[in-house]
């Protein structure tokens, strides 16, 4: 595989993109899980699908947009969907979880309409649904790198604010933090990461890469910073293992990456169970 990486640009693009996504997806996922918003990734991924389907439809029927990169409109739809979720959460203050299924349903509905208008599924759409190594272009790599730089910079500069809002929103507001502005920035970051990740993992599986490494890290980490650290480690392991498996087995990378993440999660659960049982033993007798 090393020789192939050196010789083929599309493999270089896919591998570098995967490494970047293996960082930013679990990084933003740690805050999503703590906020109990794990399903937001599914909602925005379906909204992104609508943007992709709309882009493919427009490029097919409007000659001026024939060369439009679907990733751009997918990101635009994703960001718009994230803003609608935040707006609905403020309208339904006592039923904020309603915002997610509302946007998810809308995303599915719009996506189905555009898919129908584009005469059903095609090869391009399948590559976005399940991920594709060969579909990642150098332009995609540059765009995803820009998204990663933006997300990492925001998290570094706003870590304290994001941390407080994630664990104690009322205290954060009392401390003078502009919760509305921070929520807005956070939702935009989530939308961008989801749209960027779909090239490798696929729209239908992107939420897994944002939550599974975090779920695994929670089993072994002590403290939030350790949770982030282990999430990044497990995310990179899942991506690297998944891409190598996809290359040798000729499979879609999205599925192999997600299965690798699940395997890591099962191993951490087993490790935690074994260490817990060991701690309960004293003088060879389980207590």
Question: Would you put residue 200 in left (φ > 0), alpha (ψ -120 to 50) or beta?
Answer: alpha
DSSP summary character for residue 64: G
For residue 214, tell me if it sits in a domain.
yes
Do residues 218 and 179 make contact, with C-beta atoms less than 8 angstroms apart?
Answer: no
For residue 281, tell me if it sits in a domain.
no
3-state secondary structure at position 6: helix
For residue 282, tell me if it sits in a domain.
no
Query: What pLDDT sits at residue 153?
Result: 93
For residue 286, tell me if it sits in a domain.
no
For residue 280, tell me if it sits in a domain.
no
Do residues 188 and 175 make contact, with C-beta atoms less than 8 angstroms apart?
Answer: no
For residue 260, tell me if it sits in a domain.
yes
d(CA 128, CA 113): 17
Overall number of domains in the chain: 1
For residue 287, tell me if it sits in a domain.
no
User: How is residue 79 written in tokens?
Assistant: 């960001």
Where in the sequence is the domain holding 263, given as residue range(s)?
Answer: 2-275
Residue 81: Cβ within 10 Å count: 28
For residue 67, tell me if it sits in a domain.
yes
Do residues 277 and 270 make contact, with C-beta atoms less than 8 angstroms apart?
Answer: no
Query: What pLDDT sits at residue 131?
Result: 67
285's enclosing H/E stretch is: strand 285-286
State which residues of the chain have pLDDT below 70: 1-8, 10, 64-66, 118-126, 130-135, 204, 277-287
Residue 147: Cβ within 10 Å count: 20
Nearest to 172 by CA among 193, 158, 185: 158
d(CA 65, CA 67): 6
Task: Kindly provide the b/e burial profile for residues 201-237, where b requires at least 16 CB atoms within 10 angstroms of the residue's own CB.
Answer: bbbbbbbbbbbbbbbbbbbbbeeeeebbebbbbbbbb
Query: What pLDDT sits at residue 120?
Result: 59
Cα three-residue angle 261-263-269, rounded to 5 degrees: 105
Partners of residue 282 on adjacent β-strands: 285
Compute the mean pLDDT over every residue in the chain, rounded to the nearest whole number: 81
Nearest to 68 by CA among 141, 139, 150: 139
Nearest to 41 by CA among 107, 140, 114, 135: 107
CATH number of the domain to which 254 belongs? 1.10.3470.10
Nearest to 71 by CA among 21, 150, 135, 115: 135
Cα three-residue angle 180-49-81, rounded to 5 degrees: 15
Q: What is the pLDDT of residues 244-265, one digit of tens each?
A: 888 788 777 878 888 999 999 9
3-state secondary structure at position 282: strand
């Amino acid at each position: 595989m090393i020789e192939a990486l050196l010789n083929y640009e599309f493999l270089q693009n896919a591998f570098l993109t995967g490494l970047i996504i293996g960082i930013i997806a679990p990084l933003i996922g740690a805050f999503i899980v703590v906020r109990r918003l794990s399903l937001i990734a599914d909602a925005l991924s379906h909204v992104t699908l609508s943007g992709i389907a709309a882009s493919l439809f427009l490029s097919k029927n409007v000659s001026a947009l024939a060369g439009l990169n679907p990733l751009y409109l997918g990101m635009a739809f994703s960001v718009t969907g994230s803003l609608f979720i935040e707006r609905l959460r403020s309208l339904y203050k006592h039923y904020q979880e309603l915002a997610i299924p509302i946007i998810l349903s809308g995303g599915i509905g719009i996506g189905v309409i555009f898919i129908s208008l584009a005469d059903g599924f095609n090869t391009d759409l399948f590559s976005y649904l399940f991920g594709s190594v060969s579909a990642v272009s150098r332009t995609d790599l540059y765009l995803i790198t820009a998204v990663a730089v933006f997300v990492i910079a925001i998290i570094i500069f706003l870590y304290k604010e994001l941390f407080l809002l994630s664990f104690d929103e009322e205290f954060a507001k009392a401390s003078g933090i502009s919760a509305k502005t921070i929520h807005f920035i956070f939702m935009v970051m989530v939308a961008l990461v989801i749209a960027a990740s779909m090239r490798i993992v696929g729209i239908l599986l992107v939420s897994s890469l944002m939550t599974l490494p975090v779920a695994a890290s929670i089993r072994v980490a002590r403290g939030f910073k350790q949770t982030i650290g282990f999430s990044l480690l497990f995310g990179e392991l899942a991506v690297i293992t998944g891409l190598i498996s996809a290359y040798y087995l000729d499979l879609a990378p999205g599925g192999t990456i997600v299965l690798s993440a699940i395997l890591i999660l099962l191993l951490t659960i087993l490790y935690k169970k074994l260490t817990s049982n060991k701690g309960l033993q004293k003088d060879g007798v389980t207590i």
